[in-house]
Amino acid sequence: MYHKTDVSGLQNLLWDKFGIWASNGNCVEEIRNNFKEIVSKSIERFISHKILRKNPDPEYHNKEVKQLKLTVRKSYNRRKLGEHHLE
């Protein structure tokens, strides 16, 4: 899902905003700010992105503890999904 972009929507928005961006602004700084604003709005609207969060595991978890955690999660999921899932 995160590699999909609405290319046609992005192109249409950029073409619509290009006239406003090119003609608006007297100095280079204003034109640059308008351009940055248009690009950031385009990214928010048409490019899917994933919000990353910090890993809740403490740094001192070693390989053995991580493996035990994984085993517990697998067992819990097997129990939660039940017998019909295994078939």
What tens digit of pLDDT does each residue of 18-72 get? Answer: 777 767 667 888 888 888 888 888 888 887 777 788 877 777 778 898 899 899 9
Instruction: Confirm whether 86 is domain-assigned.
Output: no
Task: Answer whether 14's CB lies under 8 Å from 42's CB.
Answer: yes
Q: How many domains does the chain contain in total?
A: 1
* Domain range for 15: 7-46
- Other CB atoms within 10 Å distance of the CB of residue 77: 10
Spatial distance between the Cα atoms of 66 and 48, rounded to a whole number of angstroms: 31
pTM above 0.75, yes or no: no
Measured distance CA(10)–CA(25) in Å, rounded: 23
Inside any domain, residue 53: no
Q: Is residue 28 part of a domain?
A: yes
